[in-house]
Amino acid sequence: MTTSGKGLNIGQGRGLGQGSGRGRNNGGGFGTGGFCVCAKCGEKVSHRQGEKCTTLKCPECGHTMIREELLNK
């Protein structure tokens, strides 16, 4: 049995070309500074790099904190 090297799996290149979106927050990070704010009582704490505000609980009321820039939208 000999093979000629011509396979049947020839691609047509007909992709839809999607996947160019900017992602969350329109592709812009908020940077290292800023504050995490409690949406319930308004308590502010400094944002720490590498730690999401949503993983923090408010030191005053225990509610989940959110990034200040998201609260102002």
Please state, in angstroms and rounded to a whole number, the distance separating the CA atoms of residues 45 and 56: 10
Instruction: Please give the model's pTM, rounded to 2 decimal places.
Output: 0.57
What is the separation, in whole angstroms, between the first and last Cα of the chain? 68
- In this predicted structure, the answer to whether residue 22 has a pLDDT above a threshold of 90 is no
Q: Is the pLDDT assigned to residue 25 strictly greater than 60?
A: no
Residues 43, 63 contacting (CB under 8 angstroms): no
- Determine the Cα–Cα distance for residues 66 and 47; give it in Å rounded to an integer: 10
